Every structure is written in structure tokens, then in C-alpha cells.
Amino acid sequence: MDKSTRGNASQFFIAGELCRRGYSAVVTLGNSPNTDILCSNLEGTRFVHIQVKTFVPGNSTCSVGLKAEKEYGENFFWVLGGIPKPDSNSSFEYFIIPAREMAKNVFEAHYLWLKTPGKKGQEHNATAMRTVHLPPSKSFSGWDISIYRERWDLIEQKLAT
């Protein structure tokens, strides 16, 4: 399965999980900047914006890119979706991270990575790529995202009427 197909599948799995929990969730299909899924309570009075990134369970990192350093507001979330390969016995994994936490920690980890010499003592080159380390790994800043595993309640709190 190619990267694009996995990413699309991840968006639909996440939207499906939100619908299963009693919310209205629509995949924007790339038609909304910085929002892969728009989710609301059933009354349509409260909304959250969700940016999705996909990884394969068992990987040590998830690529998120430069926009992970931006704070989009208190109703924006990143959901890292661990979508197992079809022939895998791994479970689905979800990390629900508020955009403010993502921005702060990704920025700090990238800054420290730039300042840390590489394996051969070389300087790291500046890049637009950003990564989040997946448990049990921790980022250069020590950020451990395991506290965000299955934290659907963070989204649910924003949608409560």
C-alpha cells in the first residue's frame, strides 16, 4: 500500500472512530488547509479541526513536517494514526495531541536536534522535515507522547455542550 493510500485510510479510520463516539466527522479530502477532518458535536455548535499523520505501528518516528510547529488554536488537534499493514497482527494506535503541545515540543526537539552533532560529529542541516518519536522512543527534548495514546477525551472535552 503506498503512502497516499495509507494516509487516506488513516483519515477515514479516525473519522469513523469519532462518528462511533457520537460526533459528526467529515474528511475534507484536501479541500481545507490544515484540516484533514472537521468534527463537531451533533448539534453543530462546537467544532474541532484535526490534522492527521499516519505511521506504521512499530516504527520509531512519524513525519509531521514544518507546520507541526504552528499553533492553530485551542480547537486544533493532531491525530497520529498507527495503521497496521494488512498482513500484520498489530493493533491500530492513535495519539491525540493538542496543536499547542505539538508545536511547542516539535519546535524544541528540532532545535535541539540541530544543535546536537550527528553520529560522525557533523552538523545537522536545517530542513522543513519534522518528526515525532513514537513510544517507547523519546524526542531530543525528552518528549514522550505516550500520555496522548487514545486520548479521545481531549477532543470530546472541546465538543461538550
Q: At 154, give phi and psi (nearest 5°).
A: -65, -40
Residue 161 has pLDDT above 80, yes or no: no
Q: Give the predicted TM-score (pTM) of the model.
A: 0.92
Q: What CATH number did the domain enclosing 113 receive?
A: 3.40.1350.10
Give residue 43's domain range: 3-159
Give the H/E segment covering residue 28. none
Instruction: Give the chain's domain count.
Output: 1
pLDDT digit string, tens, across residues 31-61:
888 999 999 999 999 999 999 999 999 899 9
Q: Would you state the pLDDT for residue 118?
A: 87
Question: What ranges in the chain are assigned the alpha helix state H?
Answer: 3-20, 99-115, 152-159
pLDDT digit string, tens, across residues 129-147:
999 999 998 888 899 999 9
